[in-house]
Amino acid sequence: MTLIKWPGGKSREIKEFQHLIPTYDRYIEPFFGGGAVFFHENPKQSVINDISTNLTDFYSLVKTQNEHFKFYLLQYNDAFSYYKNHTSKNIDIFFEKYSTNASFSKQEIMKLFINKEFHEIITNYEIFYDFLAQSINDKFKRTKKNELKKQMCQTDLENNLITGITSGFYLYFRKVYNDIQLAPLKHTYSKEYTIANFFWIREYCYGSMFRYNSEGAFNIPYGGISYNNKDFSRKINQIFNEKTKVLFENTNIFNDDFETLLDQLTLSSSDFIFLDPPYDTEFSDYEGRSFKGSDQERLRDFLLTTPAKFLLVIKNTNFIYSLYNRDEFTIENFDKTYTYNIRDRNNRAVSHLIITNKKA
């Protein structure tokens, strides 16, 4: 099971190409992401790489089983649980405001939650309570509109109002994430704090997606009502356990361009490279980066000459097929249906290619 939610994961697709994975001494994955195949293979020796600094910093903290990182993750877990549960315990106050078409002031929100504070992760309570008040008041308005179409039962209404608070909690930490990413020199957050924030946002943003506005700010919303009951403590336990520790002990972690990484490794036929690069589409930006056609060509050119065995999984487009439709490669295909589709950026059902060189 993967440790972090990441777009394009291959957990469900492993069965489509498992029969093509060769025997090997060293496992190499240049576009690591969530690393589903890595965790499935459980290699004894491995090299993993990703262009995302946040992601590789995350895995580096996992590798060292960093206790400060764990502390911040536990704080996120405890804080989210507190604000969700305290809202539920005081739901009558929210029902009254909602039923009388009233709204919450920031001061009222502060008084409601004043007895519990998490200064280790919430570094500006004034802004935090602004987000909670704005979010719950926005939820009141949207829920009223929805009830004009169809009245909700009390349970559904309660869950919607609780989500007004949990969404505000998320939006505050999304702001922290954007502040760090867009103006890193203005902030003195530790690496452990920064990556705990990054990890929590990845877990609670809708569909684990990446999307940015014109100013470069990450703008994926909160996942919604179903995310209120996510078991974040289970993810913490997956990170901090003996099995994960052993897996990463013999794993070397890099944060490079794929070609820079592969050029510095002494590759042989006993190596296996699994490749799951960004797809040949207009929407392939992760953390504001894109993988262009020229990058796809660089990858193809490298694979033409590598002595290592490799397996590449990629969406089938005319351009990609033209790159790999050569005698040096073997091509199979399978269909995949995407789980999430924001504004039709993903076709729900697409064909994927499995490309190998099948070196002995």
Find the distance separating the first CA and the last CA of the chain, reported in whole Å.
Answer: 30
Lowest-pLDDT choice from 140-149, 153-162, 178-187, 235-244: 178-187
Measured CA to CA, the distance from residue 2 to residue 154 in angstroms comes to 36
Summarised one tens digit per residue, pLDDT across range 285-301 is 566 667 889 999 999 99
Nearest to 279 by CA among 33, 27, 3: 33
Q: pLDDT exceeding 90 applies to what percent of the chain?
A: 84
Summarised one tens digit per residue, pLDDT across range 71-81 is 999 999 999 99
Per-residue exposure over 31-56, b if at least 16 CB sit within 10 Å of its own CB, e if not: bbbbbbbbbebebeebbbbbbbebbb
Q: Which CATH class is domain 14-53+244-356?
A: alpha beta
What is the pLDDT, as a whole number, of residue 1? 83
C-alpha dist (Å) from residue 89 to 83, 97, 108, 162, 243: 10, 15, 16, 10, 38
pTM across the whole model:
0.92
Q: pLDDT exceeding 70 applies to what percent of the chain?
A: 92
Note whether 278 and 81 are within 8 A (CB). Answer: no
Q: Name the residue with tokens 């998320």.
A: 170
Angle between helices 106-113 and 125-149 (to 10 degrees): 110
- Please compute the mean of the pLDDT values over residues 256-268 and round it to a whole number: 97
Strand pairing class (251-254; 330-337): unpaired
DSSP assigned state of 285: -
- Please compute the mean of the pLDDT values over residues 255-266 and round it to a whole number: 97
Lowest-pLDDT choice from 20-24, 185-189, 271-275: 185-189
What is the pLDDT, as a whole number, of residue 283? 47
Q: For the chain, what is the mean pLDDT?
A: 93
Summarised one tens digit per residue, pLDDT across range 303-355 is 999 999 999 999 999 999 999 999 999 999 988 665 444 444 444 567 999 99
Lowest-pLDDT choice from 3-17, 181-195, 283-297: 283-297
Q: Where in the chain is the domain with CATH 3.40.50.150?
A: 14-53+244-356
Measured CA to CA, the distance from residue 70 to residue 75 in angstroms comes to 9
- Please compute the mean of the pLDDT values over residues 230-254 and round it to a whole number: 98
Measured CA to CA, the distance from residue 267 to residue 26 in angstroms comes to 9
What is the pLDDT, as a whole number, of residue 184? 84
Distance of CA 22 to the CA centre of its chain: 29
Q: Is the pLDDT of residue 167 over 70?
A: yes
